[in-house]
């Protein structure tokens, strides 16, 4: 009797299904289905439109779209798809807030990106990424970004690659929420176009610009435009532009909000010690600086002291962390730059020094490196010094015997 009851319990739930192949997913609300679809590649999302009449329009509700023109049979098919999508999304009250377009086009292909960008920028767009690959087009063929992009109140992230940027008045519109902007190899109508764009972003935190221009006025406009950033990475090329700029101007614009600075320096092409004080003077509230140097050539202590004799404000108040990585050099340059920070930084908590392998082998054999590090007069009583091999990242730890005064190395 018990066996029969158990058997009936096992079979009974199945009896409630009229069709074993019933589509349970389709019973979910459209909003939930679109959220599930958003985790799939865009090309797979579009394929779901052929499942049934109801699914034909569900994919239009997805919040993000990532399209590559190369995944279409030809560019005209891609254009037709985008036009149909934007037209349909208007009727369906689209929830699109993230759009990424990777486009390969030729000079004779139709220009549609300006219109597409205008449509999405008038919605609730938060992330926009437009990239033109393939052959480098002449300026006249570059796609112009619409004015509506410069006044998008919801935009948080913007990346533009090989587009044409217009002029506009920041007093008329702005990008009040934009925090991250990446501009790569774009064309600017004039010097003011880049400056006006950057000036329209009051809360911008992360800015990347890739371009080639050695004009001092453009450099000044660029530096003024990014002067409100909190975190800044300076490439070797940009550092050389700053060096050229300081040959003409006596100082850099003030970066009062900047707290973290990372700079890559190729020191055989110019003398970094000439601009280090001016660079630091432009960052009065700097808390952290990381210098990735490729070469420091024949620097003695006297040379460094002569070049960097002044003490900027940040060393007297805010600077807490310094990291210097020197991958190739076998001289004392990195040590002397480190000495400058240690001797003059009032609130420095840690200095990390990454040195080339050959330099470490030479100096450790003579115990000179240990002596130099431990005898550095530290203006900050909290300052700790760490050394590591810049090539493999292996840390070297030191301790000093309080009784004998001798130094030992611990791995």
The alpha helices in 122-211, defined as continuous H runs, are 191-199
Pick from 177, 211, 245: which residue ends a domain? Answer: 211
How many alpha carbons fall within 13 Å on the CB side of residue 348?
A: 27
Q: What is the pLDDT of residues 11-40, one digit of tens each?
A: 444 444 445 455 666 667 766 766 666 667
Backbone angles phi, psi at 255, to 5 degrees: -105, 75
Pick from 211, 238, 253: which residue ends a domain? Answer: 211
Residue 395 sits in the same domain as residue 246: yes
Q: Which residue(s) pair with 262 in the sheet? A: 233, 290
Q: Which residues contact 3 (CB under 8 A, 6 or more apart)?
A: none
Q: Which residue has the higher pLDDT, 141 or 10?
A: 141
Tokens of 31: 């909003």
What whole-number distance in Å separates Cα of residue 193 and Cα of residue 216?
16
Whether 72 is covered by a domain: the verdict is yes
Residue 191 sits in the same domain as residue 233: no
Whether 232 is covered by a domain: the verdict is yes
| Structure confidence at residue 350 (pLDDT) | 93
Pick from 184, 211, 238: which residue ends a domain? Answer: 211
| Structure confidence at residue 226 (pLDDT) | 84
Average pLDDT over residues 381-400: 70
Window from 272-286, 301-315, 372-386 with minimum mean pLDDT:
301-315
Whose tokens are 């158990």? That residue is: 6
Q: What is the pLDDT of residues 253-283, one digit of tens each?
A: 999 999 999 998 865 545 677 788 889 999 9
Residue 159 sits in the same domain as residue 295: no
Distances (CA, A) of 213 to 289, 325, 398: 26, 28, 46
Residue 197 sits in the same domain as residue 342: no
Residue 261 sits in the same domain as residue 354: yes
Of the segments 17-21, 213-217, 380-384, which one has the largest average pLDDT value?
380-384
Whether 7 is covered by a domain: the verdict is no
Domain interval for residue 340: 228-411
Window from 58-67, 197-206, 225-234, 402-411 with minimum mean pLDDT:
402-411
Whose tokens are 């003398």? That residue is: 271
Q: Which residues contact 395 (CB under 8 A, 6 or more apart)?
A: 386, 387, 388, 389
Residue 99 sits in the same domain as residue 238: no
Distances (CA, A) of 287 to 317, 327, 334: 9, 24, 20
Number of domains into which the chain is organized: 2
What whole-number distance in Å separates Cα of residue 97 and Cα of residue 203?
20
Q: Give the strands of the sheet with 384-389, arranged side by side.
A: 231-234, 260-265, 288-293, 321-326, 350-355, 384-389, 395-400, 407-410
Across the chain, what does the average pLDDT equal?
76
């Amino acid at each position: 009797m018990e066996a029969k009851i158990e058997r009936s319990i096992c079979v009974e739930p199945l009896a409630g299904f009229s069709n074993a192949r019933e589509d349970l997913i389709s019973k979910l609300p459209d909003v939930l289905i679109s959220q599930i679809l958003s985790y799939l590649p865009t090309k797979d999302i579009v394929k779901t439109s052929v499942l049934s009449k109801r699914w034909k329009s569900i994919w239009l509700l997805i919040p993000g779209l990532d399209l590559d023109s190369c995944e279409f049979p030809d560019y005209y098919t891609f254009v037709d798809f985008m036009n149909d999508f934007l037209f349909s999304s208007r009727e369906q009250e689209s929830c699109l807030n993230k759009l990424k377009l990777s486009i390969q086009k030729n000079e004779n292909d139709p220009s549609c990106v300006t219109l597409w960008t205008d449509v999405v920028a008038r919605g609730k767009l938060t992330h926009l990424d437009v990239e033109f690959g393939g052959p480098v087009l002449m300026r006249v063929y570059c796609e112009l970004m619409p004015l509506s992009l410069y006044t998008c109140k919801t935009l948080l992230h913007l990346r533009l690659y090989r587009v044409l940027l217009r002029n506009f008045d920041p007093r008329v519109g702005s990008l009040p929420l934009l925090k991250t902007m990446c501009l790569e190899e774009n064309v600017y109508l004039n010097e003011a176009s880049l400056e006006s764009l950057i000036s329209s972003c009051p809360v911008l935190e992360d800015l990347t610009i890739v371009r080639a221009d050695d004009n001092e006025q453009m450099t000044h406009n660029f530096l003024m435009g990014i002067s409100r950033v909190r975190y800044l990475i300076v490439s070797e090329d940009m550092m050389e532009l700053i060096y050229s700029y300081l040959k003409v101007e006596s100082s850099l614009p003030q970066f009062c909000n900047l707290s973290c600075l990372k700079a890559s320096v190729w020191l055989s092409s110019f003398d970094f010690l000439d601009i280090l004080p001016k660079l630091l003077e432009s960052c009065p509230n700097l808390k952290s600086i990381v210098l990735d140097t490729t070469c420091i050539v024949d620097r003695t202590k006297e040379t460094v002291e002569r070049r960097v004799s002044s003490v900027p404000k940040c060393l007297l108040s805010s600077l807490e962390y310094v990291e210097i990585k020197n991958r190739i050099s076998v001289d004392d340059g990195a040590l002397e730059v480190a000495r400058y920070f240690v001797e003059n930084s009032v609130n420095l908590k840690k200095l990390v020094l990454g040195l080339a392998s050959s330099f470490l082998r030479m100096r450790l054999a003579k115990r000179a490196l240990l002596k130099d590090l431990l005898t550095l007069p530290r203006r900050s009583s909290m300052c700790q010094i760490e050394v590591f091999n810049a090539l493999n990242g292996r840390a070297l730890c030191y301790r000093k015997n309080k009784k004998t005064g001798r130094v030992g190395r611990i791995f």
